[in-house]
């Protein structure tokens, strides 16, 4: 039975990946940080087949112990301070966990068994936020980085150090440059889930307005369930490499609002949406669109859920969840 170790296990991608690897016959270990982590209880109920192992990306010895215990064939580093807006307020913490955390994980892999004679394969969750103020359209694996937030800067470090450890120590280390990926498990702080959840609540009469920031930004939004397949595929290749994972389409926040409110059965989103400067960011990433050709050609990866289907899935899920909450 192959063994996988995942950091960020309680996050959106950790959950999708655990489910996917379990269906492939993996024994799945997930790293859990903190004393009395509030997410642990619900996670254990939903994912009884995942063995949780204590550890923290800020603490190298804990990572070494966790890997010694799990003895994984594959390590997926999905753990991070992942919310761009928060990274402006907590830049040092973000750099430590999202950036230096990658270095610590790579060191642990190297110490426990990641070089030529050993076996651990390593996946780093890189991000389209590294492209930031984009230098070309669409963005591919060779597009220069220009991050626009402390989160983006930390992800650039994580990406570069992954490439460096691959080249320096012959570790089987891959970096997936994933564009935004969403779904019903996305945190409510991210714009897509904030909208799908608000549309559902407004429809059900428990909320009357939605307060937003910049509506002009455009993103290349895919479905998280499709994207974790690409992570796994990267680690099944003969040689490690870096790949952009994206849909190749870009949509505005206004388009997301239009589809989401229509799916909830509300006629015009303008009636409910108000903008507030507090949701604007000091610097913004305006136009992300990825070129997934390499992932398609070399990994045979394709997405299964398109943009309208993604919005539909999220709104329907939130309508169900909010309706059942009302009944309680
Ligand atoms: P990101 O791409 O990782 O930053 O994902 P987000 O979902 O947090 O943000 C996507 C885009 O939506 C950014 O350009 C935000 O500025 C924009 N946006 C506009 N209003 C909001 C809002 O109320 N919340 C969030 N999270 N983003 C918003």
Please report whether residue 295 resides in a domain.
no
Please report whether residue 293 resides in a domain.
no
For residues 75 and 29, give the distance between their C-alpha atoms in angstroms, rounded to a whole number. 9
3-class SS at 203? helix
Name residues whose C-beta falls within 8 Å of residue 73's C-beta, 6 or more positions apart in sequence.
Answer: 2, 3, 4, 119, 120, 121
Angle of helix 101-113 relative to helix 60-70, nearest 10 degrees, comes to 40
Predicted pLDDT at 201: 98
Are residues 203 and 279 located together in one domain of the fold? Answer: yes
Please report whether residue 122 resides in a domain.
yes
Are residues 195 and 273 located together in one domain of the fold? Answer: yes
Pocket of ligand 1 (CB under 6 A): 84-85, 129, 180, 189-192, 194, 212-214, 217, 219, 253, 279, 281, 284-285
pLDDT tens digits for the chain (328 residues)?
999 999 999 999 999 999 999 999 999 999 999 989 999 999 999 999 999 999 999 999 999 999 999 999 999 999 999 999 999 999 999 999 999 999 999 999 999 986 555 689 999 999 999 999 999 999 999 999 999 999 999 999 999 999 999 999 999 999 999 999 999 999 999 999 999 999 999 999 999 999 999 999 999 999 999 999 999 999 999 999 999 999 999 999 999 999 999 999 999 999 999 999 999 999 989 789 999 999 999 999 999 999 999 999 999 999 999 999 999 8
DSSP codes joined into one string, 60-72:
HHHHHHHHHHH--
Contact 125, 98 (CB under 8 A): no
Are residues 67 and 161 located together in one domain of the fold? Answer: yes
Range of the domain at 312: 187-219+250-288+304-327
How far does the centroid of ligand 1 lie from the alpha carbon of residue 26, in Å?
Answer: 34
The residues annotated as belonging to the active site are 127, 129, 151
Are residues 147 and 276 located together in one domain of the fold? Answer: no
3-class SS at 252? strand
Q: Are strands 181-182 and 121-127 parallel, antiparallel or unpaired?
A: unpaired
Q: Which of 127, 153, 191, 199 to mutate to test the pocket of ligand 1 (most atoms within 8 A of CB)?
A: 191
3-class SS at 33? coil
Report the number of secondary-structure helices (H) and strands (E) in the chain: 12, 13
Please report whether residue 117 resides in a domain.
yes
Write down the pTM of the prediction. 0.97
Q: Which of 127, 182, 213, 276 to mutate to test the pocket of ligand 1 (most atoms within 8 A of CB)?
A: 213
Nearest-CA residue for atom 10 of ligand 1: 191
Q: What is the C-alpha R_g of the chain?
A: 20
DSSP codes joined into one string, 41-66:
HHHHHH-TTEEEEE--TT-HHHHHHH
Predicted pLDDT at 102: 99
Is the peptide bond between 138 and the residue preceding it cis, with omega within 30 degrees of 0? yes
CATH of the domain at 69: 3.40.50.720
State the total domains in the chain. Answer: 2
Predicted pLDDT at 207: 96
Predicted pLDDT at 24: 98
Are residues 30 and 132 located together in one domain of the fold? Answer: yes
How far does the centroid of ligand 1 lie from the alpha carbon of residue 191, in Å?
Answer: 5
CATH of the domain at 264: 3.90.25.10
């Amino acid at each position: 039975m192959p063994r996988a170790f995942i950091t960020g296990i309680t996050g959106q991608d950790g959950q999708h990946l655990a489910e996917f690897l379990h269906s492939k016959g993996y024994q799945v270990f997930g790293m859990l940080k903190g004393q009395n982590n509030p997410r642990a209880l619900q996670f254990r109920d939903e994912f009884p087949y995942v063995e949780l192992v204590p550890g923290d990306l800020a603490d190298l010895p804990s990572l070494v112990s966790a890997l010694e215990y799990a003895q994984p064939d594959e390590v997926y580093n999905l753990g991070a301070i992942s919310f761009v807006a928060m990274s402006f307020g907590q830049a040092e913490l973000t750099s430590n966990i999202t950036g230096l955390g990658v270095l610590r994980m790579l060191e642990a892999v190297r110490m426990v068994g990641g070089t030529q004679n050993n076996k651990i394969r390593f996946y780093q969750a890189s991000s389209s936020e590294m492209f930031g103020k984009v230098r070309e359209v669409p963005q591919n694996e060779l597009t220069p980085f220009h991050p626009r937030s402390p989160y983006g800067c930390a992800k650039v470090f994580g990406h570069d150090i992954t490439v460096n450890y691959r080249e320096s120590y012959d570790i089987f280390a891959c970096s997936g440059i994933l564009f935004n990926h969403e779904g019903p498990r996305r945190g409510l702080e991210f714009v897509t889930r904030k909208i799908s959840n608000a549309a559902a609540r407004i429809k059900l009469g428990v909320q009357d307005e939605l307060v937003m920031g910049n509506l002009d930004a455009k993103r290349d939004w895919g479905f998280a369930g499709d994207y974790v397949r690409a992570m796994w595929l990267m680690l099944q290749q003969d040689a490690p490499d870096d790949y952009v994972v994206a849909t190749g389409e870009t949509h505005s926040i206004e388009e997301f609002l239009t589809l989401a409110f229509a799916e909830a059965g509300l006629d015009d989103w303008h009636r409910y949406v108000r903008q507030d400067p507090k949701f604007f960011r000091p610097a913004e990433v305006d136009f992300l669109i990825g070129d997934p050709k390499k992932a398609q050609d070399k990994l045979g990866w394709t997405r299964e859920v398109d943009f309208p289907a993604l919005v539909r899935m999220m709104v329907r899920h939130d309508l169900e969840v909010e309706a059942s909450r009302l009944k309680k």
